[in-house]
Amino acid sequence: MAKSLTAYLDELRDSRVWRSIFRSGPGQSNLHHALVVQSNVFLHLFSVKARKRVLDFSVTWYLGALTFGSFLILVITGVLLMLYYHPAVPLAYTDMKDLQFVVSSGVFLRNLHRWSAHAMVLLVFAHMFKVFYRGAYRPPREFNWVIGVVLLLITLFLSYTGYLLPWDQLAFWAVTVGSNIASAVPVFGHRIRFLMLGGNLVNANALLRFYVLHCMILPLTAIFFIAIHFWRIRKDGGLYAGTPTTVTEKEGER
């Protein structure tokens, strides 16, 4: 007798192996839905229940989630691109040509990485402005705003270090100008530039340093601060949903 798919799934979830991994067993009750969140190392960052108001599109435009989503796309495409990229001069440039013409899906991955990078910068700015305009930075959420500014800076540095890696004219001169701006810092400017480039000129050392920054140091720093950023949302009482509409109408009346 043919069983429905749901019945098969329920049987699977009732099996000994499945229960040993996921522990929640079959069922669609609130208890089971709660267990999905609570017994998962990644998902238990969330609360078991969420306020419905916060999930309206107009409240946040989901900008924070979208920023994180673009970050995930960047990490995945970035790691894949790393498999065909040598951070050496001038091999880096020929590798870009390879990715474009020789590597299967190379041009797609490179394009996706590039457009996701632009999208992430745009989204992180939009997220910041949206949080500001709806007042979600106010106490007790002040420090999360500061963490957010730190994440904004990390995002800009990630984009900037990544910009050099193709080693084309655009990359080289953008970094030349940028490093000269760094040398404009009073007192320490030239030393900062020397450390940044690993030398006096934008050459092989600079490429390698930017590569390590872009692929290792800054992503780890970003993940570290993203974790704090999400944690603080819980600790500060969940996403700020604004006051109910009956109060906001009275705002201008004082």
Partner 1 sequence: MAKDAEKERHEDPDGGLNRRQFFVRLGLGSLAVAGAGTAVFAYQFLSPNVLYEPSPIVNAGKPASYPTDSVTLDPATGIFVVREAQGFYALSAVCTHLGCLTVWKPELGIIACPCHGSQFKPDGTKIAGPAPRPLPWLRMWLNDDGDLMVDRSNPIAARQFVRI
Partner 2 sequence: MSDDKDFVAGFDSNARKAPLRVAFVTRRTSPQVKVTDEEQLMTHPGVFFRVAIAVELLTIALVTLALLWDAPLEGLADPMHTPNPAKAPWYFLGLQELLHYFPPVVAGVLIPTLVVIALIVIPYFNINIQAESLWARDGIGRVRIVAVVAVVLCVFLAVFDVWVALVPTVIVAVFMFVAARSSAPSVPRFRRWLYSKPLSFWIMTWFLAEAAVLTAIGTFFRGPGWSWVWPWRS
195 binds partner 2 (CB under 8 A): no
Tokens 């969140």 locate to: 37
- DSSP SS3 for 85: coil
- Contact set for partner 1, span 101-140 (CB under 8 A): none
Peptide linkage before 139 cis (omega within 30 of 0) = no
Residue 204 found at the interface with partner 1 (CB under 8 A): yes
Among 53, 191, 234, 235, binds partner 2 (CB under 8 A): 53
DSSP 101-136: HTSTTHHHHHHHHHHHHHHHHHHHHHHHHHHHHTTT
Distance CA 80, CA 78 (A): 5
Write down the least CB distance from residue 85 to partner 1, Å. Answer: 21
Among 9, 12, 82, 181, interactor with partner 2 by CB under 8 A: 181
166 is in the binding site of which of partner 2, partner 1, none (Cβ under 5 to 8 A by kind)?
A: partner 2
Characterise 224 by phi-psi region: left (phi > 0), alpha (psi -120 to 50), beta (else): alpha
- Is 153 exposed, middle or buried (CB count within 10 Å of its CB: 0-12, 13-18, 19+)? exposed
Closer to partner 2 by Cβ: residue 148 or 219: 148
Do 131 and 137 meet the contact criterion of CB atoms below 8 Å apart? yes
Among 26, 205, 236, 241, which residue sits at the site for partner 1 (rule: CB under 8 A)?
205
Residues 6+ apart with CB under 8 A from 84: 95, 98, 99, 103, 106
Stretch in the footprint of partner 1 (CB under 8 A) among 97-105, 110-118, 155-163, 200-208 = 200-208
Among 7, 12, 55, 212, binds partner 2 (CB under 8 A): 55
Interface with partner 2 includes 160 (CB under 8 A)?
yes
Only one of the segments 80-88, 211-219, 226-234, 244-252 lies at the binding site for partner 2 (rule: CB under 8 A); that segment is 244-252
The residues of the shown chain that bind partner 1, judged by CB under 8 A, are: 173, 176-177, 179-181, 194-195, 198-201, 203-205
